Amino acid sequence: MPKSSVTPKPLSKKPSNKSGLDKASNLVRSVIFFFLVIVLCTFMYNTLAGNTAVLETVPLSDVVARANDPEGNIKKITVAGNDLKITLKDKDYPTQKSRKDASGTLYEQGLVDFCTNLTNAQEKTACLETYPTIEYVESTDVWGTILDIAFVVLPILALILFFSYMMRQAQSMNNQNLGFGKAKVTLYGPDKKRVTFKDVAGNEAAKQDLEEIVDFLKHPKKYETLGAKIPRGVLLAGDPGTGKTLMARAVAGEANVPFFSISGSEFAEMFVGVGASRVRDLFQKAKKNAPSIIFIDEVDAVAHKRDARGGAGREDEQTLNQILVEMDGFDNETGVIVMAATNRVDMLDKALLRPGRFDRHVNVVLPERKDRLEILKVHFQGKPVAKSLNLDALAAKTAGSSGADLANIANEAAITAARLGHKEITNSDLTEAFERVAIGPERKSKVMNDHERKITAYHEAGHAIVGHVLPDSDPVHKVTIIPRGRTGGVTWFLPPEDRSYKNIYELKDILARAMGGRIAEKLVFGPEAITTGASSDLKNVAELSKEMILEEGLGKKTRNLVFPETATGYYGISTEKPYSEKTAELIDEEIKSLATEAASRAEAVLKANRKTLDLLAEKLLEKETLEEVDLAPLLKDASLPPSAKLH
Ligand code: ADP
Ligand code: MG
Ligand code: ZN
């Protein structure tokens, strides 16, 4: 979906894409700037040092005493305001300084009362002959005073300039993406392409919940006059790719209000403190444009539980707090609705879910078969498709797929059709796309040697026969020995309906048919010849049987007992198991017995149907891929031996 984003003007007026010249002059400016700072610092240091180390301060009484003493060694006293600078006769001694009392003149303070003050010319001459002359200079050194002030003020100014310069640099760095601390604004005005509920297929319950929000935004007065509290926060929760982001945009589109969006993951890349300021800006803009929607996508990135794993980062916490502060500041007339999306409600900080915050929850769920068909229709709309295109068949075999997966398949189908030079999208393009998305592209180019092909054929035939024969297994849909992704071959089972629950027989049949591959290899090529081709089957068996015992209470001796490996301990990371050693042994035993049972059932089935196994493997080597229709005649003689029966 096209979306228009308006990046607001950055704080500084500099254009974000600078020319080379601009960059060069920037460099010169910063060099000059740093030079200036260094000069000032040196200057400041010298001045301070000069004032304290070079000019020794002496008390005035001492100066007076020495001025009246012929041996006082004073040559000159410079007076500037209340400051005295005393130059000594002996050049080896440094200049001294002193201060006179502000209230008295020098005379009053006994300094001038010497030789100069004598009126008798004879006495004066005698005095001057006896005592050394002291020059009294009344200084009106304005520059000195200014310099004194400058020495204090300039370094501070330099520091301020320096920091503002650094900030500006940081800003312009950030400006290349977005304004510093500014939120991205996505507007859906009447002139822009709007996403509406029509673009969101399925999920009727969620849409119904959101209709209400749309109405709030369209007719806020209606609710105000009735004194109804308008919701502030709506949390969209659901698996990845179920269309949460799409849904939020559709609400804005339906209500025809501005949509201000930001993603939680963006906050992670920000400078310290920018997250909170971005939030502030986001809310400010939204309020100015009310009624409007703020959308915080992937909110779990900032709002994960603060105590989980020793606490969230301080930056996240600031961002989260700012969101909460802003939402608490809403009143009934604010007209802004905050929507947020997450895949992990359980991870969210509880503070976010309190009343007055994100207290409305809308669950966005994985689509059911008919919804999958609707979603496929949306995504095939406008694409040239063959008349025979069977979207329903695709919907049937994509149980568990999200809207995003289906959109992906639709796109892959178009790509496949284009690559193969088809004028319209055909069923084979669709199948190819589905398998490509589900497992990875076919590797036609990788040549298997004949022996490998034979092993693969028996392996897949083993899966297919065990799955076909066992009564609680889903029917076999397709078998292929064309390698795809990292697999050597694939056997597909088709779940007939979407089901949320499986019973223990179904689960045990899944285990047995997973074992079918390796058992077939063993029966045909001998126990020494088994390959690594079954490693992913065995992993699946291990995982499923562990889940059955630990989480679903399906053990023989541990029926209805579960052993959740929930983390315990203060930080939730302790590995301590909440059960005894003895229980642990029992659990291991139960898991093992599920796997051995599966293996022996598979072996019983394959031994009893060896003819079918050979036939199927042969056909696979010949045709490489067998569809449901091809499989039916090949499997018609297969039967279930009593030893593999469970009920
Ligand atoms: P989420 O935010 O839940 O992870 P998105 O909203 O980003 O999922 O969905 C990704 C894409 O998948 C959408 O852009 C859309 O093309 C497709 N999609 C998902 N759900 C639906 C749906 N219900 N109807 C139509 N398209 C969907
Ligand atoms: Mg999303
Ligand atoms: Zn296998």
The token pair at 260 is 């201000």
pLDDT for 178 equals: 45
Reply yes or no on whether the pLDDT at 186 is more than 70: no
**Under 8 Å between Cβ of 476 and 628:** yes
pLDDT for 481 equals: 87
CA of 478 from ligand 1 middle (Å) equals 29
Closest to 460 measured CA to CA, from 514, 528, 506, 535: 514
Reply yes or no on whether the pLDDT at 458 is more than 90: yes
Ligand 1 atom index nearest CA of 203: 23
Instruction: Identify which ligand lies nearest to the alpha carbon of 463.
Output: 3
Instruction: Identify which ligand lies nearest to the alpha carbon of 250.
Output: 1
Instruction: Identify which ligand lies nearest to the alpha carbon of 406.
Output: 1
CA of 489 from ligand 3 middle (Å) equals 7
Ligand 1 atom index nearest CA of 364: 3
> 314: pLDDT confidence band, cut at 50, 70 and 90?
low
pLDDT for 53 equals: 46
> 224: pLDDT confidence band, cut at 50, 70 and 90?
confident
Where are the extended beta strands (E) located within 254-357? 259-263, 292-297, 336-342
Q: Identify the residue with better confidence: 134 or 462.
A: 462
CB atoms within 10 A of CB 523: 17
pLDDT for 13 equals: 35
pLDDT for 267 equals: 72
pLDDT for 525 equals: 92
pLDDT for 344 equals: 83
CA of 190 from ligand 2 middle (Å) equals 24
Range with the largest mean pLDDT of 491-495, 523-527, 597-601: 597-601
Mean pLDDT along residues 395-401: 79
Query: Which residue do the tokens 């500014």 mark?
Result: 182
Reply yes or no on whether the pLDDT at 26 is more than 50: yes
CA of 189 from ligand 3 middle (Å) equals 53
pLDDT for 353 equals: 84
CA of 296 from ligand 2 middle (Å) equals 10
Rounded alpha-carbon distances, angstroms, from residue 34 to 41, 154, 166, 464: 11, 14, 11, 76
Residues with catalytic annotation? 460
Least confident segment among 33-37, 89-93, 440-444, 643-647 = 440-444
**Under 8 Å between Cβ of 432 and 422:** no
pLDDT for 546 equals: 92
- Residue type at 419 in one-letter notation: R
Q: Output the DSSP codes for 26-45.
A: HHHHHHHHHHHHHHHHHHHH
Calculate the CA 299 to chain-centre distance: 9
Reply yes or no on whether the pLDDT at 171 is more than 80: no
Closest to 317 measured CA to CA, from 261, 266, 273: 273
**Under 8 Å between Cβ of 225 and 265:** no
| Average confidence score pLDDT of the chain | 79
pLDDT for 70 equals: 63
Ligand 1 atom index nearest CA of 367: 23
CA of 186 from ligand 2 middle (Å) equals 15
58-96 burial code (b ≥16 CB/10 A, e <16): eebeebbebbbeeebebbebbbeeebbbbbbeeeeeeeb
pLDDT for 351 equals: 81
* Tens of pLDDT, residues 103-141: 665 655 566 555 666 667 777 777 666 665 566 666 656
pLDDT for 176 equals: 44
Query: Which residue do the tokens 């749309």 mark?
Result: 214
Q: Identify the residue with better confidence: 99 or 456.
A: 456
Q: Output the DSSP codes for 511-579.
A: HHHHHHHHHHHHHHH-GGG--GGGHHHHHHHHHHHHHHHHTT---STTTT-------BSTTS-B---SS
Ligand 1 atom index nearest CA of 297: 2
Q: Which of 186, 236, 242, 246 to mutate to test the pocket of ligand 1 (most atoms within 8 A of CB)?
A: 246
Radius of gyration of the chain (CA): 43
Mean pLDDT along residues 219-237: 85
> 423: pLDDT confidence band, cut at 50, 70 and 90?
very high
Reply yes or no on whether the pLDDT at 502 is more than 90: no
pLDDT for 412 equals: 93
Asked whether the CA dihedral 272, 276, 279, 285 is positive or negative, the reply is: negative
Reply yes or no on whether the pLDDT at 163 is more than 70: yes
Backbone angles phi, psi at 626, to 5 degrees: -120, 125
Calculate the CA 73 to chain-centre distance: 77
123-162 burial code (b ≥16 CB/10 A, e <16): eeeebeeebeebeeeeeeeeeeeeeeebbeebbeebeeee
pLDDT for 229 equals: 79
Least confident segment among 304-308, 458-462, 570-574 = 570-574
> 101: pLDDT confidence band, cut at 50, 70 and 90?
low
Q: In angstroms, how far is the first alpha carbon of the chain from the final one?
A: 52
Range with the largest mean pLDDT of 57-61, 518-522, 624-628: 518-522
Q: Output the DSSP codes for 177-200.
A: TS-TTPPPEE---TTSPPP-GGGS
Q: Return the residue whose CA atom lies nearest to atom 18 of ligand 1.
A: 403
> 268: pLDDT confidence band, cut at 50, 70 and 90?
low
Residues with CB under 6 A from ligand 1: 200-203, 238, 240-246, 341, 375, 378, 403-404, 407
Instruction: Identify which ligand lies nearest to the alpha carbon of 459.
Output: 3
- Residue type at 312 in one-letter notation: A
Reply yes or no on whether the pLDDT at 20 is more than 60: no
pLDDT for 21 equals: 45
* Tens of pLDDT, residues 582-611: 888 999 999 999 999 999 999 999 999 999
Mean pLDDT along residues 238-252: 91
